[in-house]
Amino acid sequence: MTDFEHLKRIASQVRRDIVRMVHARQSGHPGGSLGCADLMTLLYFDHLRIKAPAFEMNGTGEDIFFLSNGHISPAFYSVLARKGYFPVSELATFRAIESRLQGHPTTHEGLPGVRMSSGSLGQGLSVAIGAANAKKLNHDKYLVYVLMGDGEQQEGQVWEAAMYAGSRKTDNLIAMIDYNHKQIDGPVDEVMPLGDLKAKYEAFGWKVTDVDGNHMEALSEQLENCRKSAFHGFPQILLMKTEMGQGVDFMMGTHKWHGVAPNDEQLEKALSQLKETLGDY
Amino acid sequence: MKFTIQNHKDTRSGFGDGLFELGKENDKVVALCADLTGSMKMDAFAKAFPDRFFQTGIAEANMMGIAAGMTIGGMIPFTGTFANFSTGRVYDQIRQSIAYSEKNVKICASHAGLTLGEDGATHQILEDIGLMRMLPGMTVVVPCDYNQTKAAVKTIAAHNGPVYLRFGRPKVPNFTPVNQTFELGKALVYQEGSDVSILATGHLVWEALQAADLLTQKGISAEVINITTIKPLDETAILKSVSKTKCLITAEEHQLFGGLGETVAGLLAQNTPYPMEMVAVKDQFGQSGTPEQLMKHYQLDAAAIIKAAEKVLSRK
């Protein structure tokens, strides 16, 4: 039985980590990171069947997660550290010189928990399909997960991959879209509308489910449903309606905190809204 | 070493035959192709190992990403498409998902250079060596004939790391030993000489050997070296040769910018510079024509090498 109150306490700490990391370096992407904190917490502390804190690049015999929208690295790094892949104190090195916590996630510095570099958008779905193909060749019954941004759906490679997974029935793959309707230049519907994303993925042969990405119980239920529907001949995707900046009131409802760091005053205001539950790093 | 032509074969068939043999030896080897299975000579692999062959359709970016992902499960993916679509079209995918992510993908590229012929400049990439050698950690291999390409396929599978393997379309002289062992990063001295070093790669190696014969008749002793690997470059072999001959020529089916010539020039500039001439395409796009016509037009044949040799000797 999932203890959602416990998970929500972790998510609160993850959000604190996010704003503190971005504030410390005055650089990074707090908006999307906060919006995905619930998902990332749920995945790493409940849903994914992983061997943490042990980490092996090949991911054999465990679920594999890829972050395609690499700019929300603060959320990724926080859950990886809190899960024990590396010391929580290392979060203090985010975006600093000679850190394993690069601006965007990379395998290059050997950070446990990261299996691909991401940042240049549109590439993660293809990599996830590859990992899913390899799992099938290896008769490995665990699943592959990938998170993408909504603005990222504007990249052509995403649709190459969507076509492939649909036609090749990549049914050990669960994709998720952080659908906050915002990107750097403004609302997605103004910058480059995505149209009916659900209908588009369905037309490519995917099973598509809408879910509130900031409602942990609902998200958990849909992730479980996806797991049950795996290996049924179709790829699956969750369109997660999220709020950019979720959890910090002045960062919500706007695209302006996509890639802007809070100042000292704003940090204090943000932290006053986020309970310290696991101890700050 | 005196070479004789065993037959005329395309280097892409060396790739296809090598891949097929590799598939029999190693069940971790997988192949991906973007709608060019026949042109890439990957049919035998696809037919023999359907579970390990992945047709991606005309979607090269996705192909590179899938290949990168498959390495995570321990596979050794070989991607196959034309050189243009293997490099320029998917540069960012290779840079981030393969090179920076340190994935063990073998990027195998046919129809490189001018000799794909009549399709013209859209397909005749002359910049791929430069693009690939600029990527940290990328190995760049350019074998010279069928036998060598076949051997190189097996060698790169045993190397842990991303590799770019460049080969071509036309049937050309097949003259290197059958069942040779290909060694990454090792330049091969095919003819010893004392007056001028000719460093050639790919299809230009045979032309360099022809040029060396003709130069001998003119009383010029040319040393011919096959640069099978552009990166890592066999610096020791090159410096040893030029310290003897005191002048050199590079010859390649590639732009002068970024190719073998500039690579070697950089090496010499940081060691001991000697007079040097470069047989390469000089900041131009190609065009339609037969391979022979194009190599003559863009001065990438034995005659061009002889001309360059005479010029560089006059600068000594």
Helix (H), strand (E) at residue A145 = strand A144-149
CB of A271 within 8 A of CB of A20?
yes
Q: Are both B248 and B290 inside the same structural domain?
A: yes
Task: Identify the band that residue B148 occupies on the pLDDT scale cut at 50, 70 and 90.
Answer: very high
End-to-end CA separation in angstroms for chain A: 29
Residue B213 lies in a domain: yes
Q: Are both B167 and B203 inside the same structural domain?
A: no
Residues B110-138 have pLDDT tens digits of: 999 999 999 999 999 999 999 999 999 99
The CATH code of the domain at A4-271 is 3.40.50.970
Residuewise pLDDT in 10s, chain A (281 residues) = 899 999 999 999 999 999 999 999 999 999 999 999 999 999 999 999 999 999 999 999 999 999 999 999 999 999 999 999 999 999 999 999 999 999 999 999 999 999 999 999 999 999 999 999 999 999 999 999 999 999 999 999 999 999 999 999 999 999 999 999 999 999 999 999 999 999 999 999 999 999 999 999 999 999 999 999 999 999 999 999 999 999 999 999 898 999 999 999 999 999 999 999 999 99
Point out the residues of B that are catalytic. Answer: 60
Q: Are both B199 and B273 inside the same structural domain?
A: yes
CA-CA distance, A153 to A150, in Å (whole number)? 5
CB of A161 within 8 A of CB of A121?
no
Q: Which residues have CB under 8 Å from B10's CB, separation 6+?
A: B41, B146, B168, B169, B170, B171, B172
ipTM, two decimals: 0.97
Q: Are both B204 and B163 inside the same structural domain?
A: no
pLDDT of residue B2: 80
Numbers of helices and strands, H then E, in chain B: 12, 14
Q: Are both B213 and B104 inside the same structural domain?
A: no
User: Helix crossing, A156-167 with A124-137: angle to 10°?
Assistant: 30
CB of A180 within 8 A of CB of A242?
yes
Q: Are both B308 and B213 inside the same structural domain?
A: yes
Residue B179 lies in a domain: no
| Average pLDDT for B54-78 | 98
CATH of the domain at B200: 3.40.50.920
Q: What are phi and psi of B294, to 5 degrees?
A: -70, -40
User: Helix crossing, B146-158 with B11-25: angle to 10°?
Assistant: 40
Task: Identify the band that residue B166 occupies on the pLDDT scale cut at 50, 70 and 90.
Answer: very high
Q: What are phi and psi of A209, to 5 degrees?
A: -130, 130
Q: Are both B169 and B212 inside the same structural domain?
A: no
What residue spans of chain A are helical by DSSP H? 4-25, 30-35, 37-42, 73-82, 124-137, 156-167, 188-191, 197-203, 216-229, 264-271
Contact B65 A57 (CB under 8 A): no
Residue B293 lies in a domain: yes
Residue B180 lies in a domain: no
Using alpha carbons, select from A238, A186, A181 the residue that is nearest to residue A38: A238
Residue B43 lies in a domain: yes
Domain limits for position B295:
188-314
A107: chain B residues, CB-CB within 8 Å: 100-102
What percent of chain B is modeled with pLDDT above 90?
Answer: 99
CB of B65 within 8 A of CB of B94?
no
Number of domains in chain B: 2
Kindly identify which residue of chain A lies nearest to residue B27, measuring between CA atoms. Answer: A137
Contact A131 B92 (CB under 8 A): no
Q: Are both B299 and B232 inside the same structural domain?
A: yes
pTM, to two decimals? 0.97
pLDDT of residue A207: 98
Compute the Cα dihedral for B118, B120, B123, B124 and give only its sign.
Answer: positive
Best of B27, B30, B49, B66 to substitute, by most chain A Cβ atoms within 10 angstroms, is B66
pLDDT of residue A190: 97
Helix (H, G, I), strand (E, B) or coil at B110: strand
Domain boundary among B145, B174, B203: B174
pLDDT of residue A1: 83
CA distance B157 to chain A (A): 17
B303's torsion region: left (phi>0), alpha (psi -120 to 50) or beta?
alpha
CA distance B126 to chain A (A): 25
Largest CA-CA distance found in chain A, in angstroms, rounded: 53
CB of B257 within 8 A of CB of B130?
yes
Residues B243-279 have pLDDT tens digits of: 999 999 999 999 999 999 999 999 999 999 999 999 9
A127: chain B residues, CB-CB within 8 Å: 65-66, 68-69, 72, 97
CA-CA distance, A77 to A118, in Å (whole number)? 13
CA-CA distance, B224 to B6, in Å (whole number)? 20
Using alpha carbons, select from B26, B74, B65, B31 the residue that is nearest to residue A135: B74
The token pair that represents B5 in the structure block: 């032509």
Amino acid symbol at B165: L
Compute the Cα dihedral for B253, B255, B256, B262 and give only its sign.
Answer: negative
Residue listed under structure tokens 């480059």:
A192
Q: Are both B64 and B148 inside the same structural domain?
A: yes
Residues B202-247 have pLDDT tens digits of: 999 999 999 999 999 999 999 999 999 999 999 999 999 999 999 9
Residue listed under structure tokens 């690579």:
B263
Question: What residues of chain A have any CB closer than 8 angstroms to a CB in chain B?
Answer: 57-60, 64, 106-108, 115-120, 122-135, 137-138, 140, 156-157, 160-161, 163-164
Instruction: Please provide the DSSP assignment of A205-244 as one string.
Output: T-EEEEEETT-HHHHHHHHHHHHHHTTSSS-EEEEEE--T
Kindly identify which residue of chain A lies nearest to residue B55, measuring between CA atoms. Answer: A164
Q: Are both B157 and B216 inside the same structural domain?
A: no
pLDDT of residue A237: 98
Ranges of each domain in chain A: 4-271
DSSP label at residue B99: I
Q: Are both B76 and B21 inside the same structural domain?
A: yes
CB of B136 within 8 A of CB of B82?
no
Q: Are both B276 and B198 inside the same structural domain?
A: yes
pLDDT of residue B21: 98
